[in-house]
């Protein structure tokens, strides 16, 4: 790794590059993830953020929380914007027109799950296929949180949202969450990983690895949403702990689309119902007529964990 990557001790005492006093909800995990990305390196950063919770809460004119070069782009185009910036940088470097050509620069895009899994997926897929040298971070709160709490293809089965409401005729979302990490791994991206802010050392190491890997990298970051998941803002990390320890959100990495490494194995695996029970968006699943959804959740999580372990052992 380059000298500009900080070790964990340096990281813990680093100057802030993501300023406070933004308008994100109390307890929002977005700020934890962004802060750790920006503080884990001394390299110059060119950042792209599409419209969403992060953008509208951190750049309220004339103020900004971004102590770095930052681009706001449309809902679906974070990958396009940062890929364009990276291409321009390389062109100017070839022409010898950069003012400081030896200064290391990293290109990073942030998008929510709606803009990543859904309306911006083709732009992300294209940027990865073209091989741009950038890191894309999906802030995955499993819902279109900025525009009214609508379901996305990241929304898990049984969740109640404004467009998949639970009630007398429905138990909420009917479809399973899309496997975006597997999809990006199948692109052959050199580095793909899933992270969670409660396991911050694991997350920082993966973020640093993605920044130092040449080519397009993808990070799916669980970002617990106090508003739409319906839990107390003080419990963000506790909810994240249960998500990871129940294996609902396993932590792993995929290298070059082939090598899969599980990076965290809970000592005591919690039942999925513990995860569902601490969020208001799933409270209706505990009614007798909806117990089958919880049972299906557990079967799916168990099957997914078995698959990840088999793939790690096979290294294919």
Number of Cβ atoms within 10 Å of the Cβ of 283: 15
Buried b (16+ CB within 10 A) or exposed e, 133-150: bbbbbbbbbbbbbbeebb
Q: Which residue has the tokens 């929380």?
A: 65
List of residues 6+ apart from 139 with CB closer than 8 A: 29, 30, 33, 34, 52, 53, 54, 110, 111, 112, 113, 221, 223
> In tens digits, what is the pLDDT along the chain, a chain of 316 residues?
455 566 766 666 667 889 888 999 999 999 999 999 999 998 999 999 999 999 999 999 899 999 999 999 999 999 999 999 999 999 999 999 999 999 999 999 999 999 999 999 999 999 999 999 999 999 999 999 999 999 999 999 999 999 999 999 999 999 999 999 999 999 999 999 999 999 999 999 999 999 999 999 999 999 999 999 999 999 999 999 999 999 999 999 999 999 999 999 999 999 999 999 999 999 999 999 999 999 999 999 999 999 999 999 987 5
The Cα 235–Cα 231 span in angstroms is 7
Give the end-to-end CA distance of the chain in Å, rounded to a whole number: 26
The Cα 191–Cα 109 span in angstroms is 15
Q: Kind of pairing, strands 217-222 and 252-255?
A: unpaired
List of residues 6+ apart from 256 with CB closer than 8 A: 188, 190
List of residues 6+ apart from 286 with CB closer than 8 A: 273, 276, 277, 294
Q: Which residue has the tokens 């005591």?
A: 268
pLDDT of residue 14: 65
pLDDT of residue 19: 87
pLDDT of residue 1: 42
- State pTM to two decimals: 0.94
pLDDT of residue 12: 60
The sign one gets for the Cα dihedral 302, 304, 305, 310 is: positive
pLDDT of residue 8: 65
**8-314: CATH superfamily:** Thiamin diphosphate (ThDP)-binding fold, Pyr/PP domains (3.40.50.970)
The Cα 209–Cα 37 span in angstroms is 11
Buried b (16+ CB within 10 A) or exposed e, 171-206: bbbeeebbebbbebbeebbbbbbbbbbbbbebbbbb
HSE-up (13 A, CA, CB side) for residue 211? 29
Domain ranges of the chain: 8-314
Residue 82, SS3 per DSSP: helix
Cis amide leading into 225 (omega within 30): no
């Amino acid at each position: 790794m380059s000298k500009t990557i900080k070790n964990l001790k340096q990281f813990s005492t680093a100057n802030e590059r993501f300023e406070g006093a933004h308008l994100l909800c109390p307890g929002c995990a977005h700020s934890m993830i962004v802060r750790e990305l920006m503080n884990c390196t001394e390299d110059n950063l060119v950042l792209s953020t599409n419209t969403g919770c992060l953008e509208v809460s951190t750049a309220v004119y004339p103020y900004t929380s971004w102590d770095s070069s930052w681009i706001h782009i449309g809902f679906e185009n974070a990958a396009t914007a940062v890929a364009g910036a990276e291409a321009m940088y390389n062109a100017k470097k070839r022409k010898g027109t950069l003012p400081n050509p030896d200064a290391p620069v990293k290109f990073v895009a942030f998008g929510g799950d709606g803009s990543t899994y859904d309306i911006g997926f083709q732009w992300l897929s294209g940027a990865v296929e073209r091989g741009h040298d950038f890191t894309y971070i999906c802030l995955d709160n499993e819902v279109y949180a900025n525009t009214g709490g609508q379901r996305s293809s990241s929304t898990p089965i049984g969740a109640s949202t404004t467009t998949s409401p639970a009630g007398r005729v429905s138990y909420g979302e009917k479809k399973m969450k899309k496997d975006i990490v597997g999809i990006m791994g199948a692109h052959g991206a050199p580095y793909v990983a899933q992270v969670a802010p409660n396991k911050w050392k694991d997350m920082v190491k993966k973020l640093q690895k993605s920044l130092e890997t040449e080519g397009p990298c993808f990070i799916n970051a669980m970002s617990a949403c106090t508003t739409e998941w319906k839990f107390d803002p003080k419990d963000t990390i506790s909810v994240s702990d249960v998500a990871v320890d129940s294996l609902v959100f396993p932590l792993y990495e995929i290298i070059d689309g082939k090598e899969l490494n599980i990076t965290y194995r809970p000592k005591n695996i919690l039942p999925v119902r513990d995860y569902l029970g601490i969020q208001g968006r799933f409270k209706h699943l505990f009614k007798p007529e909806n117990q089958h959804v919880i049972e299906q959740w557990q079967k799916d999580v168990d099957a997914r964990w078995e698959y990840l372990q088999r793939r790690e052992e096979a290294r294919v």
